[in-house]
Amino acid sequence: MLKHLILAVAPFLTLAAHAGERSLTAYFDNDSINPFRFVDAYETHNMGLVYRDGAHELALEAAIVSPDMIVYKNIYRVANRSYGELLRLRYEREMTMGRWEAELGGYVVAAGQFKLDRIQQLVHDVFQLQDSYRQVQPIRMPDDVWFGVTGSFSSDLYDGSSYRQHYRAQLGSDRVAVMGGVERDVPFRGWNGVASANLEAVIRDKIVTAPPISAEFRRIVPRVGIEFSRRFGKATVTIGETVSLPTISSDNRMRAVFNASVSWHFD
């Protein structure tokens, strides 16, 4: 699986070797480490490293997808989606198209056994949580590799507006979706803040529908979020919260995801 990922992203590495402002970001998204915990897991145990060089961005991301671990507490309960470990490599490039700021890129994502389940169980052991490792093995999704392209576009809603409009499209062998929304700056006590609201239409999602559970994906996903960031010397700290409906259609409870990152600026 790792060989497929490296070979797929290799052509982009030379593109990222341009001079520009450079930074390295470590981040994680999680709904378990969260004061607002309505549902647990799905696509919300994510972590990654993002390297940016001017207009070029290269990222390696790891994720765990699983049934709701708050509800799924014993081996006799039927899981509401398949379990999987994912590794993703993506490349994006910023550019200007008239009044629009754009990011175009590509990615490859692999499902397999990358020992992320062992790390998850170690955390559960430390905090005396349930034994998730043995529970999820019977519902593990098959190994697979998917490819895709993405495009994001944003601009002021109109000249002089304090709101920005943003759109994003994903066309991949794993997932096809389009998203549109608005955002505005909300500074708070020296922190740069951004509040956003968007609506995503999903046409296909093979990760959600992966066997053996073969869950049904949600076709319309509403989402609101807020994020604050602040520069401390060469480091930028970012924290945020996103609330949305789950990506599986069988669960209509809102889910809240806490995200945090630290970026180190080399220049």
Average pLDDT, the chain: 87
| Boundaries of domain holding 30 | 2-265
CATH number at residue 189: 2.40.128.140
Q: Residue 120 above 80 pLDDT?
A: no
Lowest mean pLDDT among 121-130, 141-150, 155-164: 121-130
| Model confidence band, residue 135 (pLDDT cutoffs 50, 70, 90) | confident
- Distance, CA of 106 to CA of 108 (rounded, Å): 7
Q: Calculate what percentage of the chain has a pLDDT beyond 90.
A: 65
What one-character-per-residue DSSP string does 53-92 give?
ETTEEEEEEEEEEES-TTT--STTSPPSS-BEEEEEEEEE
Q: According to the model, what pLDDT value does residue 130 have?
A: 59
Q: How many domains does the chain have?
A: 1
pLDDT at 16: 47
User: Comparing 76-80, 144-148, 237-241, which segment has the lowest mean pLDDT?
Assistant: 76-80
Instruction: Please give the average per-residue pLDDT across 229-240, as a whole number.
Output: 97
Residue 194 — very low, low, confident or very high, per pLDDT cuts 50/70/90?
A: very high
Q: What is the pLDDT of residues 43-100, one digit of tens each?
A: 778 899 999 999 999 999 999 888 886 666 555 567 889 999 999 999 999 999 999 9
* pTM of structure: 0.86
CA 230 to CA 214: how far, in whole Å? 42
Q: How confident is the model over 163-176, as pLDDT tens digits? A: 999 999 999 999 99
* H or E segment to which residue 123 belongs: helix 116-126
Q: What pLDDT score was predicted for residue 73?
A: 58
DSSP, residue by residue, 156-184 = ESSTT-SEEEEEEEEEESSEEEEEEEEEE
Percent of the chain clearing pLDDT 70 (strictly above): 80
